[in-house]
Structure 1
């Protein structure tokens, strides 16, 4: 089983993943874990943009493709699958909802919340001002959206791309994790 968690900045994705990991005994694969794995496998340099959610430069991409090079997006997808496909796990980000879209044992989740709630969470988590938290939300969400669209040609946050879309601002982080667990149970 795979659980993929896409999330708006400040919506509690890591906290939800931690709760699910504890209840289900599943490992979490997030940015930090993927970076560790890429370094362990000596493939960090070729996957650095993907791991850091940096879109591919369109000019360089077209240049690479015109010389018959392999599509870097395919390499990124292969890397995520190589690292995660052998075990049940929770994958945060990395376009995993699209990578595992055709896997019947995958539950894909999108977490979101009102910007004011997310801003407050960021202020508390990072000990920053309201203005800094607002800027973080804007930058991170824009980056995630552009990254998903470029890597997968899908819209980040589009409800059609996920099994569940949960507003953690309305039901809270713990209830969001409970809802995911109930959904998994109902699918059996």
Structure 2
């Protein structure tokens, strides 16, 4: 991600030097990329790796947290707390007081957006979560939502964590409460229900959708 960030900063700096107007459109070419928003236990992570393997792209997940920590000199576990869910003012105050590090929601969201934009600028990326579908230019990538019925998600989480049904449901509910805007259908190009379609078939379908959406856009840009 460090190389991606350096390239993005160079492009943005040149754009700022030439325009001197912050309200101008974002500089440079974006994509191709795929953003994957997924319900916990839906299989979205597995699907992301299948897509990356088929395209020869990279999956970015935990690396995004590492990049934010590197930019802000904050500890990764501190960034991860904001990554999991937004902290309220008292949480932030107490955490900063006891850790000696100043890091809040505004900083997290700013640096998150910069990391996401750098990945989209360089392209060939499968980006997991973090609201990337809301941040990045929609015309340059495919925005995917991965879902599954609660019963199937529960079985998958039990297998993943090696826990009983009660613990799996608690973990699903805990994660779901921090993604209250995830079901906005207009924020995605396609929704995949992994209870109705196998992973390999879903990956093949998404590959065709990427080609259908992005290749015409590339042709228009080149014209």
2:118 aligned residue: 82
Please list the CA deviations of residues 76-106 of structure 1 after superposition, one character each: whole Å capped at 9, or x if unmatched: 3123223553232000001000011x34221
1:19 matched to 2:50: yes
Q: Which residue in the other structure is 2:65 paired with?
A: 35
Contact kept, 8 Å, 2:39 with 2:147, in 1: the verdict is yes
Aligned match of 1:172? 198
Relative to structure 1, the CA distance from residue 9 to residue 106 in structure 2 (aligned partners, 3 Å threshold; closer, same or farther) is: same
Give the CA deviation at 1:21.
0.6
TM-score, normalised relative to structure 2: 0.68
Deviates more, 1:51-60 or 1:136-145: 51-60
CA, structure 1 residues 50+107, in 2 after alignment: closer, same or farther (shift >3 Å)?
A: farther
Q: Relative to structure 1, is the Cα distance of residues 51 and 3 closer, same or farther in structure 2, using a 3 angstrom cutoff?
A: farther
What stretches of structure 1 move > 6 A for 4+ residues in a row? none
- State the Cα distance separating 1:49 from its structure 2 match: 5.6
- Structure 2: distance between partners of 1:172 and 1:120: 16
Q: Which moved more, 1:167-176 or 1:40-49?
A: 40-49
The answer to whether structure 1 residue 117 and structure 2 residue 160 are counterparts is no
Larger radius of gyration: 2
| Conserved 8 A contact 2:147-2:192 | yes
Distance 1:70 1:51 in 2: 7
Distance 2:34 2:82 in 1: 19
Unaligned stretches of 5+ residues in structure 2: 1-31, 93-103, 216-223
Alpha-carbon shift at residue 15 of structure 1 (Å): 0.4
Shift of 1:176: 1.8
- Over 3 Å counting, the alpha-carbon distance change for 1:90 and 1:44 in structure 2 is farther
